[in-house]
């Protein structure tokens, strides 16, 4: 294994990924780490949950992470009032694993349920503000009669709820659901919507994917049933005080060995004697087993030896991740009090969907604003530099909202697509892909086990990540 690993390292060092990694990370001396029971790749929620569960069962675990921080797609912006989230936001009442971990680790949480409804989302189309009262009879309202009273952004949710064919949301991963793995566009069309209506309700500020054509209705129906199941009982919308990143930070701290950060993995090898993980800086980790929590687009650049099975490799290559770019804004003055309109906006500009964050512990004042650009709007913003992107969003904001002129600052812009450790927000399955790839991408390969939200079957988001880490840990315990 030793001589092979040197050959392997030399081969991997020749790859573009390794070169990029070596040039962008602060490197420690090249050396092979001593062998451990399990190496976990990625210190996001899924990898950390797997590591904690394995440690609890007596395994010796080493977590390695490519970034210079833990948390992955949990990213709290601690330099902005209220610590807005650039990644995972809300934890619902049904997030059993998440609630259990924050309780066990004693993390103080804020329940902001109801705050998102304090002010309504007002529509801005072609520079015109259209209030909720004006919308049902407004000339721009081209919706079918039965939907005219709904804001365009709610129409896909209403339609998908009305048409959901799944008896249980977990049926989405059952082979019998294959006939439902069609596009959201087809669902709209089958229910009499025109292309213009689909553009306004789905494509303008896509909830998932880049258009109704490239998103699986089966994924959306699963999402619909799952979200409903997460909302039972008292309304709950939890986030960690100090930012959700506090959660993975506490999880990492609870481990007996420190997470090795700045270790960008470029290759994973598995054979009868165990597994080796090779980093771009030349560090080699050896273990009996590996848990790989890497997002799918990142895995496209990882060299697996032996090669992954073809269906799995195809899924890794093809399942898209959601383009998402956020511009985080701070208002020097509450301009919404000056014009009397809502700070929450649904626009047809690059500012996309503007959400007023209310993250104070003791009051519901607006702490910051986030402009969410999704799908093609995110891709537009990603074409320009971060500073140009911030300026573009502010200028569009001020154009449609004159009272905001000179009142906005943009301390942060976050493109998830341009983030080399994520390359997108999360997996958004295209029509047909749930049936073809969902099971395959979570299967163990030799001594390599896979987790991450994209492999979760019964949950989504943070809870899905936790579920997947648990499943990977159980797979190892079962061997």
Ligand X SMILES: Cc1cc2nc3c(=O)[nH]c(=O)nc-3n(C[C@H](O)[C@H](O)[C@H](O)COP(=O)(O)OP(=O)(O)OC[C@H]3O[C@@H](n4cnc5c(N)ncnc54)[C@H](O)[C@@H]3O)c2cc1C
Q: Does 53 bind ligand X (CB under 6 A)?
A: no
Q: Does 281 bind ligand X (CB under 6 A)?
A: no
Is 198 or 292 the residue whose CB approaches ligand X more closely? 292
From residue 65 to residue 84, what is the string marking binding to ligand X with x (rule CB under 6 A)?
A: xxx----xxx----------
Is 230 or 400 the residue whose CB approaches ligand X more closely? 230
SS3 letters for the chain? CHHHHHHHHHHHHCCHHHHHHHHHCCCCCCCECCCEEEEEECCCHHHHHHHHHHHHCCCCEEEECCCCCCCCCCCECCCCCCCCECCCCCECCCCHHHHHHHHHCCCCEEECCCHHHCCCCEEEECCEEECCCCHHHCCCCCCCHHHCCCCHHHHHHHHHHHHCCCCCHHHHHCHHHHHHCCEHHHHHHHCCCCHHHHHHHHHCCCCCCCCHHHCEHHHHHHHHHHHHHHCCCCCCCEEECCCCCHHHHHHHHHCCCCCECCCCEEEEEEECCEEEEEECCCCEEEEEEEEECCCHHHHCCCEEECCCCHHHHHHHHHCCECCEEEEEEEECCCHHHHHCCCCCEEECCCCCEEEEECCCCCCCCCCEEEEEEECHHHHHHHCCCHHHHHHHHHHHHHHHCHHHCCCEEEEEEEECCCCCCCCCCCECCCCCHHHHHCCHHHCCECCEEECCHHHCCCCCHHHHHHHHHHHHHHHHHHC
CB of residue 395 to ligand X, shortest distance in Å: 23
CA-wise closest residue to 102 among 231, 238, 255, 236: 238
Q: Report how far residue 474's alpha carbon sits from residue 337's, in angstroms, rounded to the nearest whole number.
A: 53
Q: Does 453 bind ligand X (CB under 6 A)?
A: yes
Q: Does 355 bind ligand X (CB under 6 A)?
A: no
CB of residue 178 to ligand X, shortest distance in Å: 25
CB of residue 204 to ligand X, shortest distance in Å: 19
Q: Does 448 bind ligand X (CB under 6 A)?
A: no
Is 200 or 456 the residue whose CB approaches ligand X more closely? 456
CB of residue 138 to ligand X, shortest distance in Å: 31
Of 465, 472, 473, 476, the one binding ligand X (CB under 6 A) is: 465
Of 9, 51, 55, 87, the one binding ligand X (CB under 6 A) is: 87
Of 249, 425, 467, 470, the one binding ligand X (CB under 6 A) is: 425
Is 42 or 243 the residue whose CB approaches ligand X more closely? 42
Of 36, 62, 83, 89, the one binding ligand X (CB under 6 A) is: 89
Q: Which stretch binds ligand X (CB under 6 A): 37-45, 103-111, 221-229, 375-383?
A: 37-45
Of 295, 389, 442, 446, the one binding ligand X (CB under 6 A) is: 295
Of 88, 152, 343, 375, the one binding ligand X (CB under 6 A) is: 88
Q: Does 45 bind ligand X (CB under 6 A)?
A: yes
Number of residues lying near ligand X (CB under 6 A):
37
Distances (CA, A) of 89 to 84, 133, 296, 414: 8, 30, 21, 14
Q: Does 321 bind ligand X (CB under 6 A)?
A: no
| 60-63 own/partner pairs: CB under 8 Å, 24+ apart | 60/36, 61/36, 61/37, 61/255, 61/257, 62/33, 62/36, 62/38, 62/257, 62/260, 62/285, 62/287, 63/39, 63/252, 63/255, 63/257, 63/259, 63/260
Is 453 or 470 the residue whose CB approaches ligand X more closely? 453
Q: Does 240 bind ligand X (CB under 6 A)?
A: no
Q: Does 188 bind ligand X (CB under 6 A)?
A: no
Q: Does 44 bind ligand X (CB under 6 A)?
A: yes
From residue 368 to residue 407, what is the string marking binding to ligand X with x (rule CB under 6 A)?
A: ----------------------------------------
Q: Does 112 bind ligand X (CB under 6 A)?
A: no
CB of residue 463 to ligand X, shortest distance in Å: 6
Is 173 or 421 the residue whose CB approaches ligand X more closely? 421
Q: Does 262 bind ligand X (CB under 6 A)?
A: no
Is 69 or 399 the residue whose CB approaches ligand X more closely? 69
Is 75 or 160 the residue whose CB approaches ligand X more closely? 75
Q: Which stretch binds ligand X (CB under 6 A): 147-155, 173-181, 187-195, 421-429?
A: 421-429
Q: List residues binding ligand X (CB under 6 A).
A: 41-47, 65-67, 72-74, 87-90, 263-265, 293-295, 298, 324, 416, 421-422, 425-426, 452-453, 461-465
């Amino acid at each position: 294994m030793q001589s092979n690993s040197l050959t392997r390292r030399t081969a991997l060092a020749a790859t573009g990924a390794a070169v990029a990694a070596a040039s962008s990370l602060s490197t420690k001396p090249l050396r092979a780490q001593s062998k451990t029971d399990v190496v976990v790749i990625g210190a996001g929620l899924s990898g950390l949950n797997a590591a904690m569960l394995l440690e609890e069962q007596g395994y010796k675990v080493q977590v390695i992470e490519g970034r210079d921080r833990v948390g992955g797609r949990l990213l709290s912006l601690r330099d902005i009032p209220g610590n807005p989230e650039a990644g995972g936001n809300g934890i619902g009442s049904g997030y059993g694993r998440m609630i259990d971990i924050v309780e066990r680790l004693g993390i103080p949480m804020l329940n902001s349920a109801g705050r998102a409804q304090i002010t309504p989302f007002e529509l801005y189309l072609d520079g015109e503000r259209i209030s909720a009262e004006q919308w049902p009879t407004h000339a721009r309202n081209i919706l079918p009669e039965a939907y005219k009273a709904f804001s365009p952004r709610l129409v896909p949710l209403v339609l998908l709820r009305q048409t959901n064919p799944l008896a249980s949301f977990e049926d989405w991963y059952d082979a019998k659901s294959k006939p439902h793995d069609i596009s959201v566009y087809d669902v709209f069309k089958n229910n009499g919507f025109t292309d213009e209506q689909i553009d306004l309700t789905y494509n303008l500020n896509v909830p998932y994917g880049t258009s109704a054509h490239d998103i699986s209705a089966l994924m959306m129906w699963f999402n619909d049933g799952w979200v409903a199941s997460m909302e039972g009982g008292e309304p709950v919308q939890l986030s960690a005080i100090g930012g959700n990143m506090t959660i993975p930070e506490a999880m990492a701290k609870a481990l007996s060995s420190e997470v090795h950060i700045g270790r960008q993995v470029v290759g994973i090898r598995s054979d009868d004697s165990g597994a080796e993980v090779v980093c771009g800086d030349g560090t080699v980790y050896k273990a009996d087993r590996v848990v790989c929590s890497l997002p799918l687009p990142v895995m496209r650049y990882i060299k697996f030896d032996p090669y992954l099975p073809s269906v799995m490799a195809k899924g890794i290559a093809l399942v898209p991740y959601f383009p998402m770019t956020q511009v985080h804004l701070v208002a020097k003055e509450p301009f919404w009090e000056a014009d009397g309109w809502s700070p929450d906006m649904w626009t047809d500009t690059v500012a996309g969907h503007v959400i007023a964050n209310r993250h104070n512990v003791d009051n519901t004042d607006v702490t910051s604003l986030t402009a969410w650009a999704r799908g093609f709007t995110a891709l537009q913003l990603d074409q320009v530099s971060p500073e140009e992107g911030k300026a573009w969003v502010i200028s569009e904001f001020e154009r449609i909202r004159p009272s905001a002129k000179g009142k906005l600052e943009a301390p942060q812009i976050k493109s998830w697509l341009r983030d080399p450790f994520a390359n997108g927000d999360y997996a958004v399955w295209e029509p047909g892909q749930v049936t073809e790839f969902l099971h395959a991408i979570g299967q163990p390969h030799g001594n390599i086990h896979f987790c991450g939200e994209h492999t979760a079957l019964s949950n989504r988001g943070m809870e899905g990540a936790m579920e997947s880490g648990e499943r990977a840990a159980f797979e190892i315990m079962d061997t």
